[in-house]
Amino acid sequence: MTVIIPTKEFSPEQRRRLVLEYLERPHGTKRAFLKEQDICFEQLRRWQAALADGDLDRGLVPRKTGVMTRRDATEIRRLQAEVDRLNDQLAAERKAVDALGKAISVMHSLGVADGAEDQTGSLPSSKPTSS
């Protein structure tokens, strides 16, 4: 009787996180990290090479022997944080644009016309001016 033990499946994002965490670990703690995560060294090296070559997300076998250093891992983390910050900023700006669009729509429904502004950019006064 053959017993088949299913292998752990990791998403590309989990693989990226594990490789970066491994690379950022100080010397002497990496073996314990692999044991804790139940990953063999050869598997992690394949993921590392795939990440370095840009093939991790596509699930391809590395084209080259990609090499990554702790500095590379730190830079990837910094860039990912910057991407996340910019995505948050973009989401906030999209909400602002949406709110402005709704405000303009309400103004149109209330009868405020686009041509209500004069050349100076101010709205015409409803009060007569006295001299």
> Residue 89 domain-assigned?
yes
> Residue 70 domain-assigned?
yes
Question: Which residue segment(s) compose the domain that 37 sits in?
Answer: 12-104
φ/ψ region of 62 (left if φ > 0, alpha if ψ in -120 to 50, else beta) reads beta
- Kindly report the average pLDDT of the chain as a whole number: 80
Q: Which two tokens stand for residue 105?
A: 């729509």
User: For the chain, what is the domain count?
Assistant: 1
pLDDT tens for 70-126 read 788 888 889 889 999 999 999 999 999 999 999 999 999 888 866 555 555 555 555
Distances (CA, A) of 40 to 3, 7, 52: 20, 11, 19
Q: Which of 84, 82, 54, 83 is nearest to 68 (CA)?
A: 54
> Residue 116 domain-assigned?
no
> Residue 40 domain-assigned?
yes
